[in-house]
């Protein structure tokens, strides 16, 4: 493999459209891996263990913590979420881009540990549209929706920690902007330098 992959972190208030964009990106791009987090929250309808999250109970989460098994973890929306260790480095060394879907504190911690990580923040157009999307998704209780809306302002205030800001008003333009970040990273000098040497060697 010629070049190493990059680490991308996507954050946004819950309901802003992260999962929607991520799903589409995986249909479009190859050599991309999703970092499946561990969580103590219960699966939503349609979520699959090992694909969307590793759904574990509190005792298993405590056990992983005791074994120092997380790169970072957080308690948010009354549940715990954590990124498992070891796997990210292996993926990027094998030329895969790795995408993490993290709230803002976790994103900051990843940037501290992997300074080259590319941080992307997805913005909803307004508080009202975020509320409508959370209700429209129809998969959280009203209590959970309120908890998520309360945390949204804290998340939005962290926008300055990010390298890219994508406004998700019109889904199609948001997706094109989002995808272009991944596509252009693949033509960065550090990613193509070895291939250039091979071209030069033919002259």
196 binds, among ligand 5GP, ligand ADP, none (CB under 5 to 8 A by kind): none
Q: Is 41 in the site for ligand 5GP (CB under 6 A)?
A: yes
- Given a contact cutoff of 8 angstroms between Cβ atoms, the answer to whether 55 and 39 are in contact is yes
Taking the least distance from each CB to ligand ADP, the nearer of 167 and 192 is 167
Q: Is 77 in the site for ligand 5GP (CB under 6 A)?
A: yes
Least distance (Å) between residue 13 CB and ligand ADP: 7
15 binds, among ligand 5GP, ligand ADP, none (CB under 5 to 8 A by kind): ligand ADP
102 binds, among ligand 5GP, ligand ADP, none (CB under 5 to 8 A by kind): ligand 5GP
Taking the least distance from each CB to ligand ADP, the nearer of 85 and 140 is 140
Q: Interaction with ligand 5GP in 92-151: which residues (CB under 6 A)? A: 101-103, 105-106
37 binds, among ligand ADP, ligand 5GP, none (CB under 5 to 8 A by kind): ligand 5GP
């Amino acid at each position: 493999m010629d070049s190493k992959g990059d680490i991308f972190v996507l954050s946004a208030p819950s309901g802003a459209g992260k999962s929607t964009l991520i799903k589409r990106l995986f249909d479009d791009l190859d050599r991309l891996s999703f970092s499946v987090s561990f969580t103590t929250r219960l699966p939503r309808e349609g979520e699959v263990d090992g694909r969307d999250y590793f759904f574990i109970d509190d005792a298993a989460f405590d056990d992983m913590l005791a074994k120092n098994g997380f790169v970072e973890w957080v308690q948010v929306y009354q549940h715990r979420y954590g990124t498992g260790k070891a796997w990210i480095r292996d993926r990027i060394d094998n030329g895969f881009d790795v995408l993490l879907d993290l709230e803002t504190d976790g994103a900051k911690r990843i940037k501290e540990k992997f300074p080259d990580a590319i941080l992307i923040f997805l913005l909803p157009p307004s508080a009202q549209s975020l509320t409508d999307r959370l209700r429209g998704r129809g998969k959280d209780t009203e209590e959970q929706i309120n908890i998520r809306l309360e945390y949204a302002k804290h998340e939005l205030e962290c926008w300055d920690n990010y390298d890219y800001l994508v406004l998700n008003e019109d889904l199609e333009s948001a997706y094109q902007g989002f995808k272009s970040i991944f596509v252009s990273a693949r033509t960065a000098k550090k990613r193509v330098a070895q291939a250039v040497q091979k071209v030069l060697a033919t002259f």
